[in-house]
Chain A
Amino acid sequence: MLQSFYKLQQVVKMGEIWSFVEVGPEGIEAVSLEIIGKAAELGDQSNMRTAAVLTGWGMEKIVKEVSRYPVDRVYYVEHGELAFYDPAKHANALHQLVEKEKPEIVLFGATYNGVDIAARLAIRAEAGLIAHVTYLGIDPSDGRLVGHVPGFGGGIVAVCKCRPGVLQIATVRPGVFERPIPTGHEAEIHRFSPKLHPTNGWRIVERRVAKVVDITRAEKVVVAGMGTGGELSLAKTLAQKLGAQLAVTRPLADLGLAPRDVQVGSTGVSLRSNIALILGVSGASHFVSGIRDVKTVISINIDRNAPIFQFSDYCVEADLFKLVPKIIEEFEKEGA
């Protein structure tokens, strides 16, 4: 008797953790999978159910694909008004499902759109919102979500929780958590039709996007800074020879010389590569927070006192315009 009661307790899962899934031109966003993976882990630890949530229109194939990842169910919030991005509409639709299903936790990727929807949902649902976290856990003592939020350019981390009793929302920095592998079976899909009125609000009249290289998972990365003078061809050639991805510092992205998506740092992405070869970068705190998880950092800088050397394993005082061609030459000599 006691034993079966115990069993029952274990089976009855308490509350739900949701992962808001975004879809880009290349399919499911990587960070959406990363939060699904994290939610599965948190769900196991804390005996909560997990669900993936999508808002949109005509997404049958993607919804099916999502159902193969480790989630207990998939909610598909479906409406013609959701065919295009409009943060207010998507937040409204999602809020209607939140009202109905009352999840404990909703996770979002901290993406250009995810941040908008999460923020608007938090106001509608009177929820707590922990932003841009790099760590998530459940405090076993009170069952509350714990998020770590790096602040002040990444030098300080704030350990945050939501107030007891409110819906807990977190946005997660891309590239921090591991992507899960599909489970081999399909989770149940629940459709939900929100009530939405057509508005003449948001309209996207033009859109240009190129395929994005995800440098957060690259094994080797060459990072070009302003020391290159904005001349990226040398760094590109080097990256190609080494089989590395090319990344940049913020000023180069500001100048439009490389897309924001390959900018390293507190307002860009974090690298987790084995090697980062860093060319002509001074080492500002906004930048170095993005190379914290790199295994081996090699930096080339003409200034022996450049701060970047404090954050490097191997420091090379040299003019990159002289040394980089030498590296390419020596590399070719030795044969790839």
Chain B
Amino acid sequence: MEIVVCVKVVPKVEQVRLDPITKTVDRTSAENELNDADKNAVEAALQLKDRYGSRVTVLSMGPLFFEPLLKLCVAMGADDAILLSDKAFAGADTYATSYVLAQAIKRLRPDIILCGESTSDSGTAQVPPQIAEWLGYPNISYVSHISIEDRVVVAKRTVKGGYEVVKVPLPVVMSVELGSNTPRFPDFKRKRWAEREFKITIWTANDLELDLNLTGKTGSKTEVIELHPIAPPQRLRKFLEGSEEEKARAIIKIIRESKG
């Protein structure tokens, strides 16, 4: 069984600053990391590998600086990593991103495609179902548990107020719920091997069957007009001092007086 995991490298949310003059995100000041939910997707894929002996390929679209973090996925246990990198892919919204990923997936012909439920930078959660639509595959989102019986996926997905269990024949696209498992640490030897010897496969636009009108900024159906920092609301930041009783009474008073 072949599994492809789509991952993205994102700047650490806590460190992201908006350049006040250019109104663009200053990524140089922020460290990069593998998107959190994508770590859960990699772990989910590796658990399937442990159980069913699948082959796991990590797939990402982005600039070359993604490489070290893709190597981290290989160190965790992925068998291969492919980076889709080309100027023609830059500035893509979810429409153009999902198109390029889907074209790469067509070349790989996996049985299962896993993604993280959403990314921490934009958090749209749209890319997994959009990949599925391009491929004409079913999709299951917010999945917390996966098993496979006779080429049928049985997946538990979170829904409002609880969960449902869905059965779908392969191939299928699933988005893995953030925090649904504990991503493993890479073992030291494999990590060293991944960092020093493993070679990431780079695919450019020439390696895929693409309509370049559908990729990158040109292919995007949306545009970002501008970015604003959201000013945190003004808060009093008043410390309540005194004994426990005094603090308790002060809190009750504030709650009582805040009505309406």
Which residues of A does B touch, CB under 8 Å?
24-25, 86-88, 91, 110-113, 115-116, 118-120, 122-124, 126-132, 146, 149-163, 166, 171, 200-212, 220, 242, 250, 254, 259-261, 266-267, 274-275, 277, 284-286, 288-289, 292-293, 295-298, 309-318, 322-323, 326-327, 329-331, 334
Kindly provide the distance from the CB of A320 to the nearest chain B CB, expressed in whole angstroms.
11
Name A112's contact: one of B128, B159, B249, B252 (CB within 8 Å): B159
Task: Report the count of interface residues on B (CB-CB < 8 A).
Answer: 78
Asked if A151 contacts B245 (CB within 8 A), the reply is no
B53 partner residues in chain A, CB cutoff 8 A? none
A123 partner residues in chain B, CB cutoff 8 A? 95, 98, 130, 133-134
Q: Which residue on A lies nearest to B232, using beta carbons?
A: A311
Binary contact track B206-240/A, C-beta < 8 Å → 1, others 0: 00000000000000111111111110110111111
B235 partner residues in chain A, CB cutoff 8 A? 297, 310-313
Asked if B247 contacts A316 (CB within 8 A), the reply is yes
**Contacts A119-B130, A159-B227, A310-B235: A327 and B252 contacting too (C-beta < 8 A)?**
yes
Q: Which residue on A lies nearest to B134, using beta carbons?
A: A123
**Contacts A132-B124, A316-B239, A323-B244: A154 and B94 contacting too (C-beta < 8 A)?**
no
A277 to B138, CA, bound (A): 43
Q: Which residue on B lies nearest to A253, using beta carbons?
A: B179
Q: Which residue on A lies nearest to B169, using beta carbons?
A: A200
Closest 3 CB pairs of A and B: A131-B124, A209-B162, A128-B221
A-B contacts, 15 listed (Cβ < 8 Å): A119-B125, A131-B126, A152-B13, A155-B16, A202-B168, A205-B166, A207-B159, A207-B163, A209-B163, A210-B161, A261-B160, A267-B123, A285-B13, A314-B254, A330-B248
Asked if B165 contacts A204 (CB within 8 A), the reply is yes
Asked if B251 contacts A129 (CB within 8 A), the reply is no
Asked if B244 contacts A318 (CB within 8 A), the reply is yes
Name B138's contact: one of A201, A211, A292, A313 (CB within 8 Å): A201
Asked if A266 contacts B123 (CB within 8 A), the reply is yes
A284 partner residues in chain B, CB cutoff 8 A? 14
B220 partner residues in chain A, CB cutoff 8 A? 163
Asked if B161 contacts A202 (CB within 8 A), the reply is no
Q: Please indicate which of the listed interface residues B154, B162, B179, B251 has the most CB atoms of chain A within 10 Å of its own CB.
A: B251
Asked if A210 contacts B162 (CB within 8 A), the reply is yes
8 new A-B contacts at CB < 8 Å, known A156-B227, A202-B166, A318-B244: A88-B138, A123-B133, A129-B221, A153-B13, A163-B221, A205-B154, A212-B160, A311-B235
Asked if B163 contacts A208 (CB within 8 A), the reply is yes
